[in-house]
Structure 1
Amino acid sequence: MFQNPETAPPMMNIAHLLTQKQDLLSRLDESPGPNEREEIERLLGKIDAELNAMDRPDRL
Structure 2
Amino acid sequence: MSTVAKLLARKERLLEQLESDPGPNERQEIERLLAQIETALSLLVPGDAATSTDE
What TM bracket, shorter-length normalisation? 0.7 to 0.9
Give the structure 2 partner of residue 3 of structure 1.
none
Which structure has more RCO (C-alpha within 8 Å, separation ≥ 6)? 2
Q: What is the letter of the counterpart of residue 15 of structure 1?
A: A
Identity across the alignment (%): 48
Give the structure 2 partner of residue 52 of structure 1.
42
RMSD between superposed Cα atoms in Å: 1.1
Using the size of structure 1 for normalisation, the TM-score is 0.73
Unaligned runs of 5+ in 1: 1-10
Structure 2 distance, partners of 1:54, 1:25, is: 20
Give the structure 1 partner of residue 23 of structure 2.
33
Q: What is the letter of the counterpart of residue 17 of structure 2?
A: R
Q: Which has the larger radius of gyration?
A: 1
